């Protein structure tokens, strides 16, 4: 998840009552009209309860931004 994705998830979950599980989070974001990328990120969440929005953002797998090397060292 890139920084932009984090912002999308944050926006998609505004107003959601926590704690919430993955299915509740996906349903809420779908009802709010979240885009396909945001929903894909949310579908990658583990099937567990989340205490707050920050926990959700932290649980979504991270992806490198732009042309970032993705964890490989540059020489």
* 26 touches 39 (CB < 8 A): yes
Does residue 14 form part of some domain? yes
- Is residue 21 over pLDDT 50? yes
Of the candidates 70, 38, 34, 36, the residue with the CA atom closest to the CA atom of residue 56: 38
Does residue 19 form part of some domain? yes
Does residue 44 form part of some domain? yes
Give the residue-averaged pLDDT of 53-63. Answer: 86
Structural element, H or E, at residue 4: helix 3-12
Does residue 7 form part of some domain? yes
Rounded to two decimals, what is the model's pTM? 0.78
Does residue 53 form part of some domain? yes
Give the residue-averaged pLDDT of 1-26. Answer: 89
Domain total in the chain:
1
Res 72: pLDDT: 37
Higher pLDDT residue, 66 or 16?
Answer: 16
Does residue 73 form part of some domain? no
Of the candidates 29, 58, 35, 60, the residue with the CA atom closest to the CA atom of residue 45: 60
- Is residue 69 over pLDDT 90? no
Does residue 21 form part of some domain? yes
Nearest-angstrom CA–CA distance, 54 and 10 = 8
Nearest-angstrom CA–CA distance, 17 and 5 = 21
């Amino acid at each position: 998840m890139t920084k932009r994705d984090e912002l999308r998830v944050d926006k998609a979950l505004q107003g959601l009552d926590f704690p919430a599980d993955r299915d509740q989070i996906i349903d809420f974001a779908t009802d709010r009209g979240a885009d396909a990328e945001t929903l894909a990120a949310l579908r990658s969440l583990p099937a567990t309860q989340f205490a707050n929005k920050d926990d959700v953002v932290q649980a979504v797998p991270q992806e490198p931004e732009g042309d970032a090397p993705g964890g490989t060292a540059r020489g």
